[in-house]
A and B are shown apart, each in its own frame.
Chain A
């Protein structure tokens, strides 16, 4: 964005100037909605160690959107159709046992690459769309209409409400599936429900951040928060806060520089993660002894 001459370094004036453009206001609204939704979903995703599933879902959106454009419907339908279907397929696959079933990873990796290849084929078939490929892959924070913001808000509210209903048993089932099963918690159904919600969140966020960067908003704030605190409530609040702060910072900095929003959002989030890891490793041992004793190397709340 080369619209602005440069920041005045007076936050009030700068914000006023930035928000005098409707597209920046919409970008901030959409970014905030997506950051909250992705943060909450990401917190459960990291807790459940389903990063790879989340990443696959985010990639599956790409052929969906490209295919939707090819047949002439709105890209959002493609995102939702493919991400939700992908979530159901992943949920239907048998889960790896404690022995480590390496074949499943080969299947997932192959499916992922093939999905991206299909997206590329759709784009190659749809002549003249090659410039749009970057906005599908890397997002388009700046072309968001007020109607889209409303739609994003409604879907986010519905997803968060559903998650609020299943949140407590889901956290229980994620932390200790065996005890949860013994206590009659429907672990399997919860897992399917979570994957569907994750698919919806990914489809929604992809429209703004692009297929390739949605994963950053899912995994980074959550991993940072879980490195800093082991308490679920606090970590969840911290995740959402980090997500919002990095999105706002990224949008603001991108406004004053010629570089893309995605770069700044991911960089700020990664800086936060590195800082959190540094804090975690330099903290006095006696305070975190119980956490450090856990055999898992990083990011997982005990």
Chain B
């Protein structure tokens, strides 16, 4: 069987993007920074549309916007961890700006692509060409390499910020680097599932992995592996059932997997023997991040 080239491109880009999203997402969930990822998903929308409206490569706008805002959120919120009210205000405005660029783009290109806004919001992974797919793979590899490099100190800093700082780990700097990586991963993910849905690709595999094991490195691996598997399953589902858009299929598989683990693993988990490392996110370890979202 000869696979159509759009499917090969989608699989190529999707695999790399999912792996990067799984790695970054694990730390995002561990550090309780899901709201930051949420904000970046809106930023991705505006960045891509701004680039389209100004006539430059859409991906340039994506990366510039998400990485820039990711770091800015950390700086604004202080201590490398953004505050939820600051984030809420920034992204509400950024979305308004996105609508502005959408109008600018659609009115300037009346003959052009009227669905540009929809594509940016909900993704068009089957529309990637070969060079776009290869760029996505290269960037995803860089993100994954960056994540692996800072994984150890970042894990320490995420679990006990104060002790890590006392041990001479540059906690603030790590926070900024991590937010920049989250930004890059968000830009990558929005090419696969769209700006509005990228949060699912970041959060669902990571949440599932945290449920399955309490060992941090294993969880990191599971998170990346799950993301890749869910991406493949979603692409296959969407290819065989054309009525389902690919971004919906990927999200549906990821959400389904998480729901399955949540429903089946709830009781088994509690009866297990004590964990070897105090990284169980459910154990309310002292020093876990408490500021910002969710509810105090």
Contact = CB atoms under 8 A, between A and B. Distances in A.
> Secondary structure of the A side of the interface?
helix
Interface string B189-211: 00001101111111110110011
Interface string B3-42: 0000000000000000000000000011110110110001
A103 B211 contact: yes
Contacts, number: 223
Interface stretch (B55-63, B66-74, B96-104, B148-156): B96-104
B50 to A, nearest CB: 12
Q: Output the residue of B248, B282, B284 with the most chain A CB within 10 A.
A: B248
Given A105-B29, A109-B34, A117-B200, A299 B248 contact: no
B89 interface: yes
A150 interface: no
Interface string A91-130: 0000111111111111111111110111011001100001
Contacts of B104: 259
A107 B122 CA distance: 20
A194 to B, nearest CB: 12
A202 to B, nearest CB: 13
Contact of A96 (B201, B286, B294): B294
A52 interface: yes
Contacts of A130: 115, 118
B296 to A, nearest CB: 5
Contacts of B258: 106-107, 110
Contact of A102 (B29, B204, B254): B29
A297 interface: yes
Nearest to B38: A109
Interface in B151-204: 193-194, 196-204
A219 B288 contact: no
A260 interface: yes
A18 interface: no
Interface string B224-266: 0000000000000000000111011001101100100010000
25 contacts: A50-B295, A51-B85, A51-B87, A52-B35, A52-B38, A52-B294, A105-B29, A106-B34, A109-B207, A113-B199, A117-B248, A134-B117, A137-B121, A216-B92, A219-B88, A219-B89, A258-B103, A259-B100, A259-B103, A259-B104, A260-B100, A267-B93, A267-B96, A270-B96, A297-B78
